[in-house]
Structures are given as structure tokens and as C-alpha cells.
Structure 1
């Protein structure tokens, strides 16, 4: 490996076409590649850096050739944005992380580098992930100064929460309220990114899997984050409360979420507290399963669920065949027992429009 540049405490912002720290692009806008290209301070390669602080920490984008434990200053992560796609729905929004300016803070994360040959691939992938069709203006794009070890600093693109997005909630919920929402939320993403990481069609991802996986990957990188660790524990406690509630709807919902988390590291780490066996026992304690509304029987039959994963009796009762449970590890079909909702159409559009101004108090 090449020796570090003689002076790598700061990169040269005055170099031709060098990325400018603090430069920002509005929500929905993809920065031009030329505005991100820089020279690697160690290898001398041309390429781009991206600073990740959420799900990309757990899912390295294609095109990257280096992954560094990193940190940036002057920001903190927060669940300050509603999510109606990856970890929520229009009817029941979940939460997703955003970066918020915070003087004096040091934020751990991951930096990825892609050389010039694959820089466009990495940028396009990350932009597509952070700009789903229904939430295009969730984030502003900004160049920040990121550490990659031994005092080396690089200009990296990252994504800041956009206060102008209609999905921005800021501090309107306290940490416990956010943890309760994360504990019970899920989404049914269906874009190319989701298909790569969640293959085989009808799939879902829970809010708890998102926060826990991000926390675990940062710990693996030697950059543990107290906020994410605390939020993970609070969300698990909220899920445990659902399981122990004795309320049929809450218990069945917790059981659904446990199915969606099968085969993930979340199941491995927390199966003794919120895993499938724990929720299955809670469901069994409830007695006979609920009757499905007759008006929804056609939807169930058309979904193919009865022939692939379960059996629907003539009385309209759903029972899961024990021999077929293993299929949930490969195909996480989203079912809300209280509504029997299969999948979800995405018909919302953020449109990059500012949020309506609040009406003045009378």
C-alpha cells in the first residue's frame, strides 16, 4: 500500500474539481459525479467516498472497494423521519434514521471508497436506496469531512434529514415513543435494492431489524453507538411487552414480526427474548386462531398463501402447517393478522414539495 500523503490532516479543497465540504444538494437531487471525485490520500487513486450511518453500514453497496470505520463531527443520528416504504406503510408509518446538526458531537459510522471505474455504480446504488419513489425528498445530500483512521480525513457524501420533507418529525416524539414505534413497524419494499437484499418476492423488513443490525455492524467495526444500542434495547423491551400483553392483536402482530426476522442476525442475537419460539408459545396460549372476515377470503386465496404456506379451512380459519414453517426463513410474507393485508401498493409521492406551513394559533 502506498504511503500516506505528507499532509493528510486536511484534504485540498482548492484542488481543481475537489469536493467542497459543506456543499449541499436539495432532497431528490443526485450530486454530479465530478463534484464528488477526489484523490485517495493513501493510494493516490481517483474516486469517491460515501459516509454511511444507517442501513448501508450493514449492506455495503456495489462498486465499493474499501470499507473503513469512520467518524464525522458536528452531527448526531436520530430517528427523525417517518418511513412508509422500507420499515413502514402509509397507514402505519415506521421510522428511519437521519443526520441532524449537533455542535460538539462525534458520530461513528462507516466510509466506503469506490475508484473512478466503479464510482458511478456506487453513487447510483446509494442514491436509489436513499431516494425511493414515494419518499424522494427524505434527505438532503451534503459533503462532510470524515475520518478513516490515523488522522486521515476525506471528503465524503452523506445524507442529512430534510426538515422540508413532509415525513420529517424531528423531536416530536421522545425516545420511548420512537422505540415503541420501531418495535411494531414493518415495510414491504420492492425496489431493486430491496430485491437484492430480500429476494423472492413478497418480503418485509421490520424496524427493529433495521436499528439492531445497524448497531451490531457498528460494534463489529469497533465503532459502537450508544444511541443505537439504547434504542435497540428499548425496542426489544417494547416487543417483549407486546408478547406478554395477552392482547390477541398485539401477540399475533409480534408473532408476524418474529417470522419476518427469521434467518437474520436479529433472530440469532435475540431469539430467547423475541424469537419465533417465544412468540409461538404466546400465540398458543391465546387459544383458537381468529376467524378471517369472509370478505377477505378471495384475497387470501388469490395470494396463494393457502397453497404455499398455510391451509384455509372451509370455516375460514387460518392454520400454519408446522412442516411448512421453515419456508418463512426464505419467504417472509407480510401478514397483518388484524387486517390480513398482503403486501402494499405504493401510491404516495413526496414530490419534493415543502411541508404545509403550520396554521397560526387563534
Structure 2
């Protein structure tokens, strides 16, 4: 059982398979009231300012299955510092403590990074077709935006997590590439 001073962190994107901090427990978890979405304009890694790509954010609405990591009290401050350096570079995300439901039924408060809808990098609530057009045409310092999407889907599938909206975006990209 987690002590009162342990920290839970909820990951919905790369934090799920590359947390980068010490954890003593990792469980699948669900957050309600938020959904995984390609809603963050990427100006550097997966696009440019002239032709932004899209990367993941946790946006309002629906629910999202991800991973929850319990960080021991002794590592709490260092983990929060690390996550702020990683997630708050442009302040497109807001740091929140929100309830999540762990796979074993427990409900815990977790550190979560949600999209700031007032930030210039917020792309809004896009349809899968709209996101596909953007992702299909974007490239940044870290490569093709399509590769980011497909890598994310590969990791989600490997973890046994289905994201129907992201899968629809990938299908729409395939149709675009096929000329349809």
C-alpha cells in the first residue's frame, strides 16, 4: 500500500514506456474527464512553426487508459523536478493532481499533465481526418510526424492498450497516402 507521501504519476504518452524516473509500482490506470489526443502543435521535434506537427496532450472529455507509477517518498522531489523539466518546457501543459482509477480498483490522486487550452500550441479538438492531414505532412528535428504516431500506436498495442481515435488517425493517413 502506498504511503501518504508517495507520489503517483499518470502517463498517457511516452511517459508510459519511458518514464525516466524511479518507481516501485506500475499499474494500468484510467482517468475520467480527459482523453488522449493529438492536440499539441509541435514546432520543433515533429514540425516547424511554418508547418506544425501534432503530438499528444491530455484534453478534456471522455476517458483515457494509461499507466500509473508509484514513486517512493524519497524520490518524490527529484521526480517532480525531472517531470517539470521534461513536460513544462513551453508550458503547453498544466500540472495537476487528479484522481485516477488503478487496475486493481484503487482510486488515487496522481500528478498529471493536461493541455492548456489557452496556449498558442493548443490545436483544438480535431477530428481524426483533420489530425491525419496535419500529421501526414509534418516533419521536424526528430523526424516525420507519422513516425511519432506509429511509434505511439506500436507502444500502446504492446502494452495491450487500444486507442480507437489514434487508430482512426493512422487509417486516415493510410488513405491519404494511397490517394483516397
Contact 1:55 1:210 in 2 (8 A): no
SS at match of 1:117: helix
List 4+ stretches of structure 1 deviating above 6 A: none
Unaligned regions of 5+ residues in structure 2, if any? none
* Deviation readout 1:232-258 (Å, 9 max, x if unpaired): 2323443454xxxxxxxxxxxxxxxxx
Q: What's the RMSD between the two structures over aligned residues?
A: 2.3
Partners in 2 of 1:207 and 1:187 — Cα distance?
7
Residue 223 (str. 1) matches residue 161 (str. 2) = yes
Partners in 1 of 2:26 and 2:140 — Cα distance?
28
* Deviation readout 1:128-168 (Å, 9 max, x if unpaired): 22223xxx221112111112222112111111111211122
Q: How many residues align?
A: 180
- Structure of higher CA gyration radius: 1
1:76 is displaced (CA, Å) by 1.6
Partners in 2 of 1:58 and 1:184 — Cα distance?
26
Flag the 1:56–1:240 CA change in 2: closer, same or farther, 3 A.
farther
What does 1:182-261 correspond to in 2, within 5 Å?
182-188=135-141, 204-241=142-179
Q: 54, 60, 71: which one pairs with 1:101? A: 60
Contact 2:96 2:114 in 1 (8 A): yes
Residue 181 (str. 1) matches residue 134 (str. 2) = yes
Normalised TM-score (structure 1) = 0.46
Flag the 1:205–1:116 CA change in 2: closer, same or farther, 3 A.
farther
Normalised TM-score (structure 2) = 0.86
Partners in 2 of 1:67 and 1:240 — Cα distance?
40
Which residue pairs with 2:78 in the alignment? 121
Unaligned regions of 5+ residues in structure 1, if any? 5-39, 189-203, 242-362
Identify the structure with bigger relative contact order (alpha carbons < 8 Å, sequence gap 6+).
2
* Deviation readout 1:283-322 (Å, 9 max, x if unpaired): xxxxxxxxxxxxxxxxxxxxxxxxxxxxxxxxxxxxxxxx
What does 1:281-292 correspond to in 2, within 5 Å?
none
